[in-house]
Amino acid sequence: MAQRYNTVVIGAGPGGYVAALHLANAKQKVALIENKHLGGTCLNVGCIPTKALLHDSELVAGIRNGAARGVNVAKMTIDFAKMMQRKNQVIQRLQGGVRSLVKSRKIDLFEGTGKLTGTNQVEVTTADGQTQTLETDNIIIATGSAPRVPGVFPADRTKVMTSDEILSINELPKKLLIVGGGYIGCEFATLFAELGVEVVVVEMLDRLLPMQDQDLSKALAKVFKNAGITVHTSTGVEKLEVTRKGVQATLSGDVTVPADLALVCTGRGPVSGDMGLEAAGVESDNGFVLIDEQCRTNVANIYAIGDVTGKVQLAHVASRQAAVAANTIVGRQDSEDYAIVPSAVYTHPEIGMVGLSEDQAREQGLKFKTAAFSMQASGMATAYGETEGFAKLIVGEEFGEILGAHLMCPHAADAIHEIAVLMKSECTVHELVATIHGHPTFSEALAEVAEKITGHPIHG
């Protein structure tokens, strides 16, 4: 006899397990299905492991540049295997935390693959081939995304890797080719360059971070140049071959680039194939499950959240969608329009963004003003010796509403949330000016640029 649940959640990433926790808090009987690892991509092969390693590489870079600050280290060695071991320990600890939360909320965890066999049934298949059917009132699809690799590239994942495989290597390559200059490619470029690897980045579009504000792209290109990272923009990879020594890429313009490894960062696609969407009548577009503002699909009792929806592929968006879907299921009013989503690129210095870029504001026909404040005029940035970067605001011309903000400096990923809260609260640039900011801090650059954009610049 099939087990019966109020809600079955397929996928235990930052969307799925968070949805299960919300529903359990609402006294629902919940099943959670996961076919790989608790925590999903973010915890296991994404956000968490990369940030653990980026913190290590930042320490290495700080030591390497320490002599100018009076810190002299006679000999520095990098034990990359130990770095990877620490990264794994971080993952295991957080995985254990998620497992403990699931157990304490009395959520039934099924370690296997979930497949829709109707609008109220989910079939679970375990690794050993055993199957069972779960009956449910509601279903949440939270199966996430996976790296996309162009079909013309070799399938050899020992030398042509994605972000999944490269987080399991035990030795540093001497030279790394990164295909794709988006946020994933740029973070890995930072990480490996700081660890002493020769890095080459190839981007088909005309700049790094092509989806972000152009001023950020220009500033990051300068940082990469100073770090010795070779960048080819407006350049395609016409051929990528596995050789005896590693890989060799032929770029447009007949340029060849040999390397020990290639890392392909050309986007992520939805994990939705062979999971029974058609059987349940769930509509999708190129594999992305279509949803409304309540995360409901075209089938009233089936919801989808996270990367599989194609809305915004960020872990914190998945967690927000988890709350929206769970609240809707239990009868609470909630929705999300994705207009205000803070995001970050964990290069060094970090980059934080929220709202519109200047190009996006222009494309929408908005009347706006913009200004930037250089970190060269920041007391804290000067004290840190980290003066590359800036704070930039885009505000409405008539009322001064904040349309977007872009920040490049240490801790930018944290500081940008000040602007996200102001935007969510419908505050204007004038409230930002009137808010006392601590000194010295990096975030006071936001107040400085606000004063500049209102016509009362103080330090810049």
Report, as residue numbers or ranges, the catalytic residues: 439
What SS3 class is residue 251? strand
What is the number of other CB atoms lying within 10 angstroms of the CB of residue 43? 23
Contact predicate 202/178, CB 8 Å: yes
Give the amino acid at 266: T
Strand order, beta sheet including 343-345:
343-345, 351-355, 402-408, 390-396, 368-374
Alpha helices in 71-196 (DSSP H): 80-104, 163-166, 183-194
310-325 b/e with 16+ CB inside 10 Å = b? bbbbbbbbbbbbbbbb
Contact predicate 150/204, CB 8 Å: no
Alpha helices in 46-123 (DSSP H): 47-64, 80-104
Tokens of 302: 């089936």
What is the spatial distance between Cα 91 and Cα 38, in angstroms, rounded to a whole number? Answer: 10
